[in-house]
Amino acid sequence: MANETFDQTMMFQAKAEDELATSDILRTVYEALKEKGYNPINQLVGYLLSGDPAYITSHKNARSLIRRLERDDLLEELVRFYLESHDEEKSQ
C-alpha cells in the first residue's frame, strides 16, 4: 500500500485564498500609509524598487504584513489587477 502513494503524481493547485491574501495585504498597507499621512503609491513603489521595509509604516502592522509576501508576487498581483481592470473597461 505504501508504494501506491509513490506511484501517483500529486497535483498542486494554489488556493484562491492566496490571491485574496495578497490583495488584502496591499489594501491594509495602503490604508495604513494613508492614515499616517504618507503618499501610499510613492511609499509602495519605494518598497517594491528597493526592498527596504522602512518605506512601509509599522502602523496597523503594515510593515510585518507586507514582508510576508515576496516582492515579485506583489508586482504580479499589481500588474494582473491593472491589466484585467483595463481589459474590462475596453470590453464595455
Residues 6+ apart with CB under 8 A from 13: none
Q: What is the tens place of the pLDDT at every residue in 35-65? A: 999 999 999 999 999 999 999 999 999 999 9
| Total domains, the chain | 1
Asked, for residue 8, whether it belongs to a domain, the answer is: no
Residue 23 confidence (pLDDT): 87
Task: Print the domain residue range for 63.
Answer: 22-89
pTM of the model: 0.72
Asked, for residue 66, whether it belongs to a domain, the answer is: yes
Asked, for residue 3, whether it belongs to a domain, the answer is: no
